[in-house]
Amino acid sequence: MSISPLMPVYPRCDVRPVRGDNCHLIDEKGERYLDFASGIAVNLLGHSHQGLIGAIQKQAAELMHVSNLYGSPQGEKIAQRLVSLTFADTVFFTNSGAEAVECAIKTARAYHQHAGDEQKFELITFNNAFHGRTMATISASNQDKMHKGFMPLLAGFRYVDFDDFAGAEAAMGPNTAGFLVEPIQGEGGIRSASETFLQGLRKLADDNDLMLVFDEVQCGVARTGSLYAYEQYGVEPDIMATAKGIGGGFPLGACLATEKAARGMGLGTHGSTYGGNPLAMAAAGAVLDAVANDEFLASVRAKGDKLRSRLEQFIGNYPELFDSIRGRGLMMGIKLKTEPRPFVAHLRDNHGLLTVAAGDTTMRLLPPLVIEDEHIDEFMEKLSAGAASYDPGESA
Ligand X SMILES: *Cc1c(COP(=O)(O)O)cnc(C)c1O
Give the pairing type, strands 24-27 and 17-21. antiparallel
**Side-chain half-sphere of 30: how many Cα atoms within 13 Å?**
0
Considering only residues 164 to 183 of the shown chain, the ones binding ligand X according to CB under 6 A are: 182
Residue 284: burial class (beta carbons within 10 Å; 0-12, 13-18, 19+): buried
Cβ proximity to ligand X, 188 vs 386, nearer residue: 188
The candidate with the shortest Cα–Cα distance to 185, out of 305, 301, 333, is: 333
Q: Characterise 169 by phi-psi region: left (phi > 0), alpha (psi -120 to 50), beta (else).
A: alpha
Among 20, 39, 97, 248, binds ligand X (CB under 6 A): 97
- Residue 340: strand, helix, or coil: helix
| 349 among annotated binding-site residues | no
Residue 57 CA to residue 41 CA, distance in Å, equals 23
Residue nearest to ligand X (CB): 97
Tell me the per-residue interface mask from 51 to 80 with ligand X, x by CB under 6 A, - otherwise.
Answer: ------------------------------
The stretch among 68-76, 109-117, 125-133, 348-356 that binds ligand X (CB under 6 A) is 125-133
The candidate with the shortest Cα–Cα distance to 30, out of 352, 254, 326, 391, is: 352
Minimum Å gap between C-beta 103 and ligand X is 12
The candidate with the shortest Cα–Cα distance to 261, out of 379, 76, 109, 158, is: 109
Cβ proximity to ligand X, 177 vs 366, nearer residue: 366
The candidate with the shortest Cα–Cα distance to 187, out of 160, 162, 164, is: 162
The answer to whether 220 contacts ligand X (rule: CB under 6 A) is no
Contact of 197 with 165, CB cutoff 8 Å: yes
Cβ proximity to ligand X, 253 vs 352, nearer residue: 253
Minimum Å gap between C-beta 231 and ligand X is 17
The answer to whether 364 contacts ligand X (rule: CB under 6 A) is no
Q: Over the range 245-259, which residues count as b (16 or more CB within 10 Å of their CB) and which as e?
A: bbbbbbbbbbbbbbe
Give the DSSP letter string of 36-95: SSHHHHT-TT-S--HHHHHHHHHHHHH-----TTS--HHHHHHHHHHHHHSS-SEEEEES
The answer to whether 102 contacts ligand X (rule: CB under 6 A) is no
Cβ proximity to ligand X, 101 vs 262, nearer residue: 101
| 192 among annotated binding-site residues | no
Among 186, 285, 333, 352, binds ligand X (CB under 6 A): 186
The answer to whether 283 contacts ligand X (rule: CB under 6 A) is no
| 273 among annotated binding-site residues | yes
The answer to whether 130 contacts ligand X (rule: CB under 6 A) is yes
Cβ proximity to ligand X, 134 vs 395, nearer residue: 134
The answer to whether 218 contacts ligand X (rule: CB under 6 A) is yes
Distances (CA, A) of 348 to 14, 27, 311, 320: 10, 12, 18, 20
The answer to whether 243 contacts ligand X (rule: CB under 6 A) is yes
Cβ proximity to ligand X, 280 vs 315, nearer residue: 280
Binding site for ligand X (CB under 6 A): 96-98, 101, 130-132, 182, 186-187, 215, 217-218, 243-244
Instruction: List binding-site positions for pyridoxal 5'-phosphate.
Output: 97-98, 130, 215-218, 273
Instruction: List binding-site positions for N(2)-acetyl-L-ornithine.
Output: 133, 272
